[in-house]
């Protein structure tokens, strides 16, 4: 068994950012993410909240300084707030066992009216909220749920609780492309950051992603004709590149896995709700952390498993959407891996 050294992969990238999925379940059914009749994991296969806490502590001991809780929709898992409080106690801890600099959450916003205050009290200061449209009819078609009023209420609750909010919007040709500037302007008017994301080819869905793939190069060109975009030095540890928008006074992020690969500086790994560590969102390289946690010597097994993960993390993903009717890059859905 090796010592508890920092996590560094074979390309000498220091891994400091964990995206931990607490559930594959979601209360929305976004068309580009999953089929309407999605088959979710059996509950017995999902890690307990105690196991997820042990896992988080194991990662923190290896130098992880930022954890983002994801799903599915993380806030639909019962008692999830207990996990947030437990992990949040590691923020700025100074006991020789590592500490967190930040605990964050990605959510669709539907549960924020109930949980925003608890998130802030638990130590969360910043959240990402996925929102692809401000039009109620478009939202209902895209998510197969008429929940936009609930999401807007959640955003207001997050703002009132003191949480900094970043809106994540997937750019979709023929769906929201003519609304993107309005979404950004609205977000900035609310004091929120906004980030645009290219649609990713993960999992089988009813529609052809090629039909909705909108390269952000084209979107950025359109926005630059409307507004003054200045490169920003802002960094969050994620894959976005940021721009300041003079006319709105806000910040715009662009995540471009297809048109502008960002893997060279990758500092993150993902763990599914079943404890499978994926060294890359766009790859099949994985390590079974659930088996390590449930072994006779969980500490040693987890250490060895994380060492193996560093050896198999690839240089880059291989996402592409370049022809109609193409199969997804991977069969697993984003909700399974964790956003």
Q: Which positions make up the binding site?
A: 19, 26, 30, 32-33, 68, 72, 106, 130, 166, 200, 263, 266, 268-270, 280
**Annotated binding residues for S-adenosyl-L-methionine:** 32, 72, 130, 200
d(CA 294, CA 6): 23
Residue 94 makes CB contacts below 8 A (sequence gap 6+) with none
210 to each of 37, 143, 257, how far by Cα in Å? 22, 19, 15
Binding site feature residues for [4Fe-4S] cluster: 26, 30, 33, 263, 266, 280
| Binding site members for GTP | 19, 68, 106, 166, 268-270
Number of H helices and number of E strands within the chain?
11, 12
3-state secondary structure 269-309: EEECCCCEEECCCCCCCEEEHHHHHCCCCHHHHHHHHHHHH
C-alpha Rg value of the chain to the nearest Å: 19
Given a contact cutoff of 8 angstroms between Cβ atoms, the answer to whether 219 and 171 are in contact is yes
CB 52 within 8 A of CB 74: no
């Amino acid at each position: 068994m090796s010592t508890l050294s920092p996590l560094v992969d074979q390309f000498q990238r220091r891994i400091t950012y964990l995206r931990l999925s607490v559930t594959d379940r979601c209360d929305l059914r976004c068309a580009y993410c999953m089929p309407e009749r999605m088959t979710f994991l059996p509950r017995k296969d999902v890690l307990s909240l105690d196991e997820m806490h042990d896992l988080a502590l194991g990662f923190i001991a290896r130098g992880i300084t930022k954890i983002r809780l994801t799903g599915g929709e993380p806030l639909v898992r019962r008692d999830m707030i207990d996990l947030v409080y437990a992990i949040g106690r590691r923020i700025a801890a100074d006991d020789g066992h590592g500490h967190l600099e930040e605990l964050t959450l990605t959510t669709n916003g539907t549960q924020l009216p109930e949980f925003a205050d608890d998130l802030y009290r638990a130590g969360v200061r910043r959240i990402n909220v996925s929102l692809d449209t401000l039009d109620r009819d478009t939202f209902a078609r895209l998510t197969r749920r008429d929940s936009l009023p609930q999401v807007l209420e959640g955003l207001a609750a997050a703002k009132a609780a003191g949480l900094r909010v970043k809106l994540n919007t997937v750019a979709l040709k023929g769906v929201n492309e003519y609304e993107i500037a309005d979404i950004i302007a609205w977000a900035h008017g609310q004091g929120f950051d906004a980030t645009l994301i290219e649609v990713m080819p993960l999992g089988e869905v009813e529609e052809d992603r090629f039909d909705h793939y909108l390269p952000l190069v084209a979107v950025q060109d359109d926005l630059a004709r409307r507004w003054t975009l200045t490169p920003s030095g802002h960094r969050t540890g994620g894959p976005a590149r940021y721009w300041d928008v003079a006319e709105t006074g806000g910040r715009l992020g662009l995540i471009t896995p297809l048109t502008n690969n960002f893997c060279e500086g990758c500092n993150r790994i993902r763990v599914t709700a079943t404890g499978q560590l994926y060294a890359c969102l766009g790859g099949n390289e994985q390590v079974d952390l659930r088996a390590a946690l449930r072994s006779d010597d969980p500490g040693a097994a987890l250490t060895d498993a994380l060492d193996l993960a560093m050896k198999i993390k690839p240089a880059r993903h291989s996402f592409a959407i370049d022809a109609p009717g193409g199969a997804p890059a991977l069969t697993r859905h984003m909700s399974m891996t964790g956003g």
